[in-house]
Amino acid sequence: MDLCGRSQRGALREASRKQASPRRWSRVNGWSWPLHTFQAVAWTMLFILAFASFGIFVPLLPPNWNLVIYGVTGGLFCFHFVVHLLAISINPAETNIRLKNYSEPVPTFDPSKHTHVIENQYCHLCEVTVNKKAKHCRACNKCVSDFDHHCKWLNNCVGGRNYRYFFCSLVSDSASLLCLITILLYIFIQYFVNPEVLRTHPLYEDVSKDTWLLFLPLFPVKTKTLVVLGIGVFVLLLSALSLLLLGHLLIFHLFLMFKKLSTYEYVTQNRCQKTPRVPAGRKELSFKISTPQRAVQGDPAAAKVSGSVSHHRHVPGELPAAGSHG
């Protein structure tokens, strides 16, 4: 008995009836249209934090720290930038699909003909044979090899071909945010303890104590203390929130690696566990009813005929599941 499979198939059929036909064109990677809002937000936050880090806060550190911090934060930023680009740009589709022409439209799924998009390792939309762990992504409208999940921040599916770059992106971004938060906390502490430690650059000799210089050493811009503090608080809160979300996601994927599961498999298993289970096997309820019969004409003795009625109740969900889950 495959109760979970039956519930998933029912949900898929219901969704296919309510939802409009999916787009008829496959997306190649994260740069394919339409772009996602989360993708734009991710790139905007990346450049805001990098601009604030290298242009405002790292130059405030003591001279003997500058080169080390520039090297560490710059190396993390460059590494994250490269792996993030790779995770977006790589096409995670199945090999047979990558060889196809993406200018050709993809057929529309007809639930009246097929129970699932993928049956017996054959995709009815991509019209190719796929491996056992391949899944057809509704957002990208193609089968993804070793499907893990569709990431809105990358605007691309994460599968076997780009999962390592996705994971490296999580690690490098989390490490970069942790470095930036440490730098900001040090600057705030020194500002209240001994602000002169942050004003060691030679250009500070010609400005007043309530004036600070941004974008040192190439493009010094004078500003007031409240502006620097306000930018620092904003960047600190933004970094802390980003690290909280990314750290949670990183820990989750470390857990999946330990369990040797993909995100899709984890979600599917949890969905199955939450589905109420019906005991396997059929239960038969049989009972006998004895009814007195009237005397047959010509027979003075009252005859009793004993009959038995067997009633069978079918338990819902006992029919065997047909097809394979896609």
CA 114 to chain CA mean position, Å: 28
Residues 6+ apart with CB under 8 A from 288: 306, 307, 308, 309
Residue pair 114/178 in contact (Cβ under 8 Å)? The answer is no
- Which of 4, 126, 143, 151 is labelled catalytic? 151
Residues contacting residue 321 through CB under 8 Å, at least 6 positions apart:
1, 2, 5, 6, 9
Q: Are strands 149-151 and 118-119 parallel, antiparallel or unpaired?
A: unpaired
Listed residue (300, 205, 224) closest to 214, CA to CA? 224
> Cα(219)–Cα(150) distance, rounded to whole angstroms?
42
Task: For residue 217, say if its preceding peptide bond is cis, omega within 30 degrees of 0.
Answer: yes
Tokens (6 digits) for 95? 């090999």
Residue linked to tokens 């390792």: 121
Enclosing H/E stretch for 212: strand 211-214
Stretch (H or E) spanning 224: strand 221-224
The helix (run of H) or strand (run of E) holding residue 11 is helix 3-18
Largest CA distance in the chain: 134
Per the annotation, the verdict on 143 as an active-site residue is: no
Q: How far apart are alpha carbons 130 and 85 in whole angstroms?
A: 26
Tokens representing 110 are: 């007809």
Residues annotated as catalytic (active site), given as ranges = 151
